[in-house]
Chains A and B, each alone.
Chain A
Amino acid sequence: MLVVKNLVKKFNATIAVNNLSFTVNQGKIFGLLGPNGAGKTTTIRTILNIIKPTSGEIIFDGNPITYEYYNIIGYLPEERGLYKRSKVIDVLVYFAALKNLSKKDATARADAWMKKLNVLEYRDKKIEQLSKGNQQKVQLIAAIIHNPKLLILDEPFTGFDPINQQEVKDLILSFLSEGKTIILSTHQMELAEKLCEDILLIDNGKEVSSGKLSDVKKHFGGNNIRLGFNGDNSFLNQFSEIIKIDNYNHYSDIQLRDDIIPSEFLKKLIGKTEVNHFSIIEPTLNKIFIELIKKNSG
């Protein structure tokens, strides 16, 4: 379990991280979300012990960060790249050595991982000879080869085709059953929605929303329905129950006033139009993200 308490990081006059507190539970994926420049990278760097926080505490499994911490942490940075002119196996063994693994152990683990991710055939090739997707797989292996307890993944899915994305997603989920603690930072809200149990949404270094994803959704509100109908949508204008309408091709997503019961609203609709679909919908994480950030900056 990772506990971050009142984290502040200032660079001269600018405050990159402004009093963030959160807890990442073991066996769970924690989504660290926010627009570009929100302070995600700085937050990650302080957790990684790359930069010292101005104030605040970072505690992992009950202990403050020490030198040993380096060997139980795994990190996949957002921008990818490896030593292009070096051999795949050499690079993997080097990164394992930096995590205090012996050469023999590192080689065995590297081989096992390469086999699992279908890149074993490139073992003795130079990195630059690999496709972009395969290079990323190698980098992912480099980040997890030492079986880290805490894993920080910054945009792990970018650059992968859908098949490989699936592979990586399955891999990340398999880590959960091993009891790893995982922080996922991403802009891909659909994936975050599927993977993360808890989220922290930040903007300008400050917390915008946090907690269990289901609670965040509930809290965001959302007396939302999806209505399918034939013909023109202008009839919707007459209802004072509607706060907001998003029109699509054959349906509209409608936000109702909180005091309105959806089934009562349906009754009113009948007769006004030909309803062919009616469902209660939860707000997507994507929608929550956009709305909250807009509200925050506006």
Chain B
Amino acid sequence: MKKIIAIAQWEYLEKVKTKTFIISLIITPLIIISFSVLPSILFREEDPKVELVGVVDTSGVYFKGLENELGKYKLADGQRNYVLINLYFRNKIFEELKKIADINVQENLLEGYLLIHRGGSDSVYAEYRTKNLGNFKNAGRFEEALNSIRLKKRLEEKGIDTSLINYFQNKAAVEQIKIEEGGKVSELDFLTTFFVSIIFILLLMMMVVYSGQMLVRSMIEEKSSRLIEMLISSSTPDELLTGKILGLSLLGITQILIWVLIGMSLIASSLIPIAAFKNIIPMLLYFILGFLFYASLFVGIGSTVNTEQEAQQITTYLSLILMLPVVIAMPVIQNPDFIVAKVFSYFPLTIPTVMLLRLNVENVSELEIFLTLVILILSIFIVTKISAKIFRIGILSYGSRPTLKEIFQWIKE
């Protein structure tokens, strides 16, 4: 036991100090957070202000209508959002009007201006010329206003009641609301819950891949330098294996703790609503057990590997398996009873990630949580046993990578 602790301590301390670990610790959540939270911060609307918008209406029929239509957009203090300025003068040539208006925009006298060409009698083609193309909202509102004016004109011509327009513009709306246990209504919109589980899955994946790579790399170093022989002439292979898994798990727990701290500060800053973490206990369980499962798998597989390239191949395959839930996410969301999802929920390699997903998009029964956790824990024991057998021989086999047949022989021995 003393030796196991010494090995675990060494594995932990030497890896915690590495740049790879520190980078993965900080960079991983940063990347994930920036991908998931940043867009919502960026798209948060700016406080609206009064905007001066010029209108060059060569037909001369739209200006009044636009003023009416856009008049409905008001600021909080009751002012109009858009103040329109008629830039059309009959005695000026079109090109000249355009030139003057362009200069006005460039000198920031105007937010932009609407250049309306009258195409045929039915269609209208307009340009919104501005320095700032990113503002889809303005263009959308102008389009809506122009369409509504067109409709009104045609209805008037035909002698139909123009108030029908308002009726057309009120559309039917359907909102999705998730019903929780006990008939409560979830306060969370679907996207947030979905993103929270994807974040957890990505974190687990990154963590498994990073630490797995670190572990395999250090085992390759030990093998290629024959350090392993000094190690196993000092302790049994089982002690070494247990120590390594323990050290790696400590490393994982350190990561989780730091990430939980980051998560808590995000909640505190209300970037992520606390309700997104209501399943936090089963989620953490799947997370930690999933990590342990993969750690014990890596120790076994890692012992058969001799080069960095082989190691990379293996970690790539494993991360693909970990990514599986992202692939089946849509069908699971559309149909929580999706049979493939159910099957993967009981398959040890995919239990952690698939369950992390399902926990957040549907109501998973407590029985199912219990069963999958039991399967996961049993698998950890079995994988550790098998890994130990592979490890015992694998660490001493150099040269070419053993075939699957040989590995099966090792397991049988």
Contacts and interface: CB of A to CB of B under 8 A. Distances in A.
Interface in B232-268: 232-236
Nearest to A75: B233
Given A49-B233, A75-B230, A95-B234, A83 B14 contact: yes
Given A50-B396, A82-B225, A97 B230 contact: no
A45 B226 CA distance: 12
Given A79-B226, A82-B227, A50 B221 contact: no
Contacts of B13: 90
Contacts of A184: none
A70 B227 CA distance: 15
A142 B225 CA distance: 14
B14 A50 contact: no
Interface string A56-88: 000000000001001101011111111111100
A150 to B, nearest CB: 10
A94 interface: yes
A95 B396 CA distance: 19
B89 interface: no
A70 B233 contact: yes
Contacts of A279: none
B271 interface: no
A166 interface: no
B3 interface: yes
B3 A67 contact: no
A80 B18 CA distance: 23
Interface string B1-45: 011001100100110001000000000000000000000000000
Interface in B200-245: 218, 221, 224-227, 229-236
B225 A95 contact: no
A86 B6 CA distance: 15
A143 interface: yes
Given A97-B3, A98-B3, A100-B2, A81 B224 contact: yes
B3 A81 contact: no
Contacts of A83: 14, 218, 221, 227
Sort chain A's interface into a size bin: 20 to 34
Interface residues of B, number: 23
B233 A79 contact: no
Contact of A84 (B3, B6, B7, B221): B221
Interface in A174-194: none
Select the residue from B6, B231, B234 with max chain A CB neighbours within 10 A.
Answer: B234
B227 A100 contact: no
Interface string A91-113: 00011011110000000000000
B10 A94 contact: yes
Contacts of A84: 221
B3 A100 contact: yes
Contact of B235 (A82, A86, A98): A98
Contact of B6 (A45, A49, A71, A98): A98
B234 A70 contact: yes
A50 B225 contact: no
Nearest to A143: B230
Contacts of A81: 221, 224-227
A142 B230 contact: yes
Contacts of B7: 98
A280 interface: no
Contacts of A85: 14, 18
Q: Which 8 A-B pairs have the closest CB atoms?
A: A81-B225, A98-B234, A97-B6, A48-B233, A79-B226, A77-B226, A75-B233, A77-B229
Interface of A: 45, 48-51, 67, 70-71, 73, 75-86, 90, 94-95, 97-100, 142-143
Given A90-B14, A94-B6, A98-B235, 14 more contacts: A49-B233, A50-B232, A70-B233, A73-B233, A79-B226, A81-B221, A83-B221, A84-B221, A85-B14, A90-B13, A97-B2, A98-B231, A99-B234, A100-B3
30 contacts: A48-B229, A49-B233, A50-B229, A70-B233, A70-B235, A71-B234, A73-B233, A75-B230, A77-B226, A77-B229, A78-B226, A79-B226, A81-B224, A81-B226, A81-B227, A82-B225, A83-B14, A85-B18, A86-B14, A90-B13, A90-B14, A95-B230, A97-B6, A98-B3, A98-B6, A98-B7, A98-B231, A98-B234, A99-B234, A143-B230
